[in-house]
Structure 1
Amino acid sequence: MDIYMKTRKLRADERLPLYQRLREEIQARISSGEWKPDTPIPTEAELTQEYGVAVGTVRKAVDTLVSDGLLQRNQGRGTFVRRPDFESSFLRFFRQTNAAGERIIPEGQVLERRTIVPPEYVSIALGLSAQAEAVYLKRIRRIEGVPMLCEDIWLPYARFHALADIPLQAFGNLLYPFYEQECGQMIAAARESLRVSCADQQTASALEIPQGSPVVIIDRVAQGYDHSPLEYRRSRGGASTFHYQIDIS
């Protein structure tokens, strides 16, 4: 990895502590795609030389990013940009197994894609103006042909316009790597909320369950490495496949 010969200036607010300014600089470089998920960032020695700061300052900045889940230390290999495992969320909540009882990730299929002005609650969550457009995706997820989840997904058009003309069959089974590949947008974190409701006609048809059946609804707002909201996703699954477990000690 190259060591810069010139000292790079920290661009963050000079009123902030030095380690926090360095932290924001590292985060900005991750957000821009300069340092990608699953790849190592420069060593402490390299960052010390590059920014002209003490090694303790570098270590503290990196420590905060590790605590926040953006970076991950791998013993003997270095510090890497962390790629979160978002699929584990659904594996926690839904019994996703095949006929042999093995837990598997459902196959996803995008059924519909439109450019629309999203509902108000979606616009607010994504930080969009009232008339700003979003790319809308309607998606179904199946296990061995059986529908498990139906999803409504909204993405800010300004960041995801490249998806507006891509053939539906080109969308992969996992959307987050696809966002990164086609739009350069990397998902770093997400917040989810759960509630229980009854299946309306559209949901019942998609999940092949009786109308009025109980369903679990998971609303997710996913963010980039710069904390900007990038995706609003509403997933619905039959309550009969839902389970919740927590270990308390």
Structure 2
Amino acid sequence: MALFKHGRDHRLPLYQQVRDELLDNISSGVWLPDVPIPTESELTKSYGVAIGTIRKAVDTLVNDGLLYRSQGRGTFVRRPDFNASLFRFFRQMSSDGRFVMPESQLLSRTFKNPPQQAADALKININDKAICLDRLRLLEDRVVLTEEIWLPAALFSSLIDLELSEFGNLLYPFYEQQCGQLIASAKETLTIASASTGIAKALNTVENSPVAVIERVAYGYDKTPLEYRISHGSAETFCYQIEIA
């Protein structure tokens, strides 16, 4: 008999019930990126189902991009690479013509009620407390992006009392290290707007000049929204490019 931690929904095919159990191991941090998950034979013993059922459950997670197989090494939780995602939209070049990743400067960390837009994205109530990070991205001491980042306080409470200097340049590995929250996917929306007084001042541009606005909602492996981020960058350095085959 299968050993399911959260009971079984008999309306679902057995492989999908197993798939949901495996997904829970990923989203709860039982299985971590860069560490092989148990073998198919070990999972067969754990859940008391046929190896074909295990294989089909694992296949669905591989097809969904949550797991990947490495020949001769095993099956692993996939760790998405978001490092360059935002900057595919912007040409950021150093003074000598090299592409570089801007540095981060965290201006503030506040604990307050989120605006409606952030609350909706995070699927929380506007009366729920959230953590807001105000951050700049700089290239050779020049601000190229402003970022307003919202996190549900219930999942990121350990960030409330940290010194600003303790926050890393890359936030997603920092979330994992400090809070055990792994970012698995994200959805971005791109629009063009006019620079407000504050955004224009931060970007050293003219008020009402065009700026690119990128809104991102980042999700955990179980599709729980973990972060809402809105970034503004000068339209002068913005470039949209896509290959169509």
Q: CA deviation at 1:7?
A: 6.1
TM-score normalised to the size of structure 2?
0.95
Q: Equivalent of 1:80, from 64, 76, 94?
A: 76
Residue 135 of structure 2 aligns to a residue in which SS?
Answer: strand
CA–CA distance in structure 1, aligned partners of residues 67 and 96 of structure 2: 37
Structure 2 portions without partners, runs of 5+: none
Residue 232 of structure 2 aligns to a residue in which SS?
Answer: strand
Q: Aligned pair in 2 of structure 1 residues 176, 109: CA closer, same or farther (>3 Å)?
A: same
Corresponding residue number in structure 2 for 1:99: 95
| Contact 1:12–1:24 (Cα < 8 Å) also in 2 | no
Does residue 228 (structure 1) correspond to residue 224 (structure 2)? The answer is yes
| Contact 2:131–2:160 (Cα < 8 Å) also in 1 | yes
Q: How does 1:154-193 map to 2 (within 5 A)?
A: 154-193=150-189
Q: CA deviation at 1:207?
A: 1.3
Identical pairs, percent: 55
Counterpart code for 1:195 = T
Q: Render the CA deviation track for 1:214-238: whole Å, top value 9, x for unaligned.
A: 1110001111111111110001111
CA–CA distance in structure 2, aligned partners of residues 78 and 221 of structure 1: 31
Residue 87 of structure 1 aligns to a residue in which SS?
Answer: coil
Counterpart code for 2:158 = A
Residue 196 of structure 1 aligns to a residue in which SS?
Answer: strand
Corresponding residue number in structure 1 for 2:137: 141
| Contact 2:40–2:51 (Cα < 8 Å) also in 1 | yes
CA–CA distance in structure 1, aligned partners of residues 73 and 54 of structure 2: 18
Task: Tell me the C-alpha RMSD between the 2 structures.
Answer: 1.5
Counterpart code for 2:77 = V
Corresponding residue number in structure 1 for 2:233: 237
| Contact 1:97–1:104 (Cα < 8 Å) also in 2 | yes
Does residue 68 (structure 1) correspond to residue 64 (structure 2)? The answer is yes
Structure 1 portions without partners, runs of 5+: 1-5
CA–CA distance in structure 1, aligned partners of residues 101 and 3 of structure 2: 44
Q: Equivalent of 1:33, from 29, 34, 43?
A: 29
- Greater displacement, 148-157 / 101-110: 101-110
Counterpart code for 1:109 = Q
Corresponding residue number in structure 2 for 1:3: none
CA–CA distance in structure 1, aligned partners of residues 87 and 232 of structure 2: 14
CA–CA distance in structure 1, aligned partners of residues 35 and 211 of structure 2: 39
Q: CA deviation at 1:144?
A: 1.8
Residue 225 of structure 1 aligns to a residue in which SS?
Answer: coil
Q: Render the CA deviation track for 1:59-107: whole Å, top value 9, x for unaligned.
A: 2111111121111222222111111111232131111222233222211
Residue 53 of structure 2 aligns to a residue in which SS?
Answer: helix
Aligned residues: 244
Q: Render the CA deviation track for 1:7-57: whole Å, top value 9, x for unaligned.
A: 633634121111111111111111111111222111112111221212221
Counterpart code for 1:151 = E
Runs of 4+ in 1 over 3 A off after TM superposition: none
